[in-house]
């Protein structure tokens, strides 16, 4: 290195050291009044950049108190992505202040506001199901973190019902385990929940109270009807799902080998018919609630109960900062598709379990048309509620054997054949069936993934079939 270059680097080191000394002096003064501030601050910005231009490519200058790690920290701190903590929190949007100022009424909420708030809660729930963080969607409803303070019976029952739906949805998706990171954000937050019997009685009591008020034929009867439809929807959705999958409360208890859970498809189908009718009524009464200033619902900040930045401190410093919420009209369409897919499970699936070809064909078609991570996961849970028993009744190995019998009629299954009585043949047959069960389980789970991931997984499934054929 030439003497001229050494002089330039020395000048830059001096600038950096002076700058760091000034910062340290100011920081020490904030902690201790004994330190004295310099008479005047010196702006070294222009000098700093001028000296930097003299450095060659790849050349680095370090001072004793400003090494590479400090430089990287400075770059990260100045990155706009890190500004999540730079925006001051508005205390007026806190739950206590909203209630105290009267902006948020959790004791006797206006009917128009309640209808809009109920729809917004369902929309934020669907936004969470589409892969967003629950802290940026559902939990932006400020009173969901303070449910013990909500005394309006209808609002309280509906809100507890939505929180229970959140728990059930998460349980179904995580237990099925056929989702990827782009499908679902399973980050868990502490939710205020009621015991299921108490929640059911609370929802039913709210329905009875609304029905009693409707019988008086008040001026706001249409709004009371709209509230009733939404509370009934939540109660029947919880009831329908409880008939298809084991509840999260009982799922982690010790299983009873003599009492496996079996989905009740017939009764669930009856409730789903009512749910579809309720969704039509909910969609037709959506306009009765409060409406946004513009035509777009956006993040529902126009409702007193929603504050998009309420959970900002719980978020990691990564993009995106603002979550795009599903609007209320799209929410109704989403719920209709979901109910239609669940109805398909209850009515069409039982006729498809006689052979393995029909099962796979149904799974493939189910995943292609209007499916979502919840409906695909629910199908997996209903198909195999316990171990590898289809619908909790027939073992998958039995279905595979029946399919092989119809397709090839192997001698090992013919009681009149000599191979039927040969022990070695029976052992090879049983080993083949056990391997086949594992391979077909992989195919069934593959069709629970989204179409893009199915394309990746199908290669592994083909290799498994190739190995099964080669070894047997």
The pLDDT of residue 308: 87
3/191: higher pLDDT? 191
Q: How far is CA 295 from the centre of its chain?
A: 27
Instruction: Give backbone dihedrals phi and psi of 79, rounded to 5 degrees, phi first.
Output: -70, 135
- Stated as kind and residue range, the H or E segment containing 69 is helix 68-78
**CB atoms inside a 10 Å sphere around CB 55:** 14
pLDDT confidence tier of residue 306, bands split at 50, 70 and 90: very high
209-249 tens-digit pLDDT: 999 999 999 999 999 999 999 999 999 999 999 999 988 86
Which pLDDT does position 416 carry in this prediction? 74
Task: Count Cα atoms within 13 angstroms, Cβ side, for 417.
Answer: 12
For the chain, helix (H) and strand (E) counts, in that order, are 16, 2
- Cα(452)–Cα(455) distance, integer angstroms: 5
What is d(CA 279, CA 339) in angstroms, rounded to the nearest whole number? 9
Could you tell me the CA-to-CA distances from 332 to 207, 278, 343, 428 in Å, in that order?
21, 11, 16, 54
Q: What are phi and psi of 93, to 5 degrees?
A: -90, 0
pLDDT digits (tens, 9 = 90+) for 378-406: 999 999 987 788 998 889 999 998 898 88
Residues 6+ apart with CB under 8 A from 32: none
Residue 234 φ/ψ, nearest 5 degrees? -65, -45
C-alpha closest to that of 159 among 188, 126, 202: 202
Separation between Cα atoms, residue 93 and residue 115, nearest integer Å: 21
Q: How many angstroms separate the CA atoms of 163 and 148, rounded?
A: 13
Q: How many residues does the chain have?
A: 472
Share of the chain above pLDDT 70, in %: 84
CA gap 142, 122 in Å, rounded: 15
Q: What is the band of 34 on the pLDDT scale with cuts at 50, 70, 90?
A: very low
- Which pLDDT score is estimated for 81? 55
User: For the chain, which residues make up each domain, given as ranges?
Assistant: 91-249+261-337, 352-471
Mean pLDDT to the nearest integer, 456-467: 90
CB contact set of 309 (below 8 Å; sequence gap of 6+): 87, 89, 90, 93
pLDDT of the residue at 377: 96
Residues in a beta bridge with 306: 141
Tens of pLDDT, residue by residue over 165-190, are: 999 999 999 999 999 888 998 877 78
Q: Convert 353-399 into a string of H (helix), E (strand) and C (coil).
A: CCCHHHHHHHHHHHHHCCCCHHHHHHHHHHHCCECCEECCCEEHHHH
Mean pLDDT of 435-460: 91
Residues 67-71: what's their mean pLDDT?
76
Cβ-in-10-Å burial (0-12, 13-18, 19+) of 442 comes to middle
**Beta-carbon count within 10 A of 26 CB:** 13
Half-sphere exposure (Cβ direction) of 115: Cα atoms closer than 13 Å = 23
Look at residues 177, 207, 174 and name the one whose alpha carbon lies nearest to residue 188: 174
Mean predicted lDDT score pLDDT of the chain: 85
Q: Given this model, what pLDDT does residue 88 score? A: 66
pLDDT at 187: 78
Residue 22 pLDDT > 70 = no
What residues contact residue 78 under an 8 Å CB cut-off, 6+ apart? none
User: Higher pLDDT residue, 92 or 467?
Assistant: 467
- What separation, in Å, do the N-terminal and C-terminal C-alpha atoms of the chain show? 72
In this prediction, residue 35 has a pLDDT band, given cuts at 50, 70 and 90, of very low
Residue 317 pLDDT > 80 = no
What angle, 0 to 180 degrees and rounded to 10, lies between the N-to-C axes of helices 328-348 and 221-244?
40
* Most distant CA atoms of the chain, gap in Å: 108
Work out the pLDDT band at 19, boundaries 50, 70, 90: low
Q: What is the pLDDT of residue 37?
A: 47
| Confidence check: pLDDT of 133 > 50 | yes
């Amino acid at each position: 290195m030439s003497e001229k270059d050494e002089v330039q680097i020395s000048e830059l080191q001096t600038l950096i050291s002076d700058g760091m000394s000034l910062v340290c002096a100011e920081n020490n003064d904030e902690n201790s009044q004994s330190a004295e501030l310099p008479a005047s601050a010196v702006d070294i910005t222009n000098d700093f950049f001028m000296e930097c231009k003299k450095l060659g490519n790849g050349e680095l200058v370090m001072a004793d108190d400003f090494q590479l790690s400090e430089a990287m920290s400075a770059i990260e701190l100045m990155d706009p992505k890190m500004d999540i903590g730079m925006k001051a929190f508005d205390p007026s949007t806190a739950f206590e202040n909203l209630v105290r100022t009267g902006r948020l009424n959790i004791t006797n909420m206006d009917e128009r506001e309640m209808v809009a708030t109920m729809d917004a809660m369902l929309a934020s729930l669907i936004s969470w199901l589409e892969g967003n963080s629950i802290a940026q969607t559902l939990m932006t409803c400020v009173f969901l973190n303070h449910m013990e303070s909500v005394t309006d019976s209808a609002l309280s029952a509906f809100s507890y019902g939505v929180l229970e739906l959140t728990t059930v949805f998460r349980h179904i998706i995580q237990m099925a385990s056929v989702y990827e990171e782009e499908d679902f954000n399973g980050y868990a937050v502490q939710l205020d929940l009621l015991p299921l019997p108490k929640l059911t009685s609370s929802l039913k009591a709210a329905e009875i109270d609304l029905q009693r008020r409707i019988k008086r034929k008040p001026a706001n009867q249409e709004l009371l009807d709209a509230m009733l439809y939404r509370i009934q929807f939540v109660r029947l959705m919880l009831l329908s799902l409880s008939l298809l999958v084991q509840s999260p409360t009982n799922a982690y208890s010790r299983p009873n080998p003599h009492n496996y859970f079996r989905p009740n498809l017939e009764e669930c189908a009856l409730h789903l018919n009512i749910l579809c009718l309720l969704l039509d009524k909910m969609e037709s009464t959506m306009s009765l609630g409060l409406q946004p200033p513009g035509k777009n619902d956006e993040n529902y900040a126009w409702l007193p109960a929603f504050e998009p930045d309420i959970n900002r401190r719980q978020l990691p410093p990564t993009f995106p900062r603002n979550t795009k919420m599903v609007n209320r009209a799209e929410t109704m369409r989403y719920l209709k598709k979901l109910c239609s897919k669940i109805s398909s499970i209850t009515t069409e699936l039982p006729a498809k379990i006689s052979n393995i070809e029909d099962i796979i064909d149904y799974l493939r078609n189910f995943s292609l048309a209007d499916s979502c991570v919840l409906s695909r996961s629910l199908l997996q849970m209903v198909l195999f509620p316990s171990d590898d028993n289809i619908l909790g009744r027939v073992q998958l190995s039995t279905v595979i054997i029946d399919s092989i019998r119809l397709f090839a009629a192997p001698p090992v299954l013919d009681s009149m054949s000599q191979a039927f009585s040969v022990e070695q043949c029976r052992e090879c047959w049983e080993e083949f069936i056990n391997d086949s069960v594992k391979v077909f389980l992989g195919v069934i789970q593959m069709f629970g993934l989204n179409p893009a991931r199915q394309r990746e997984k199908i290669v592994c499934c083909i290799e498994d079939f190739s190995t099964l054929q080669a070894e047997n």
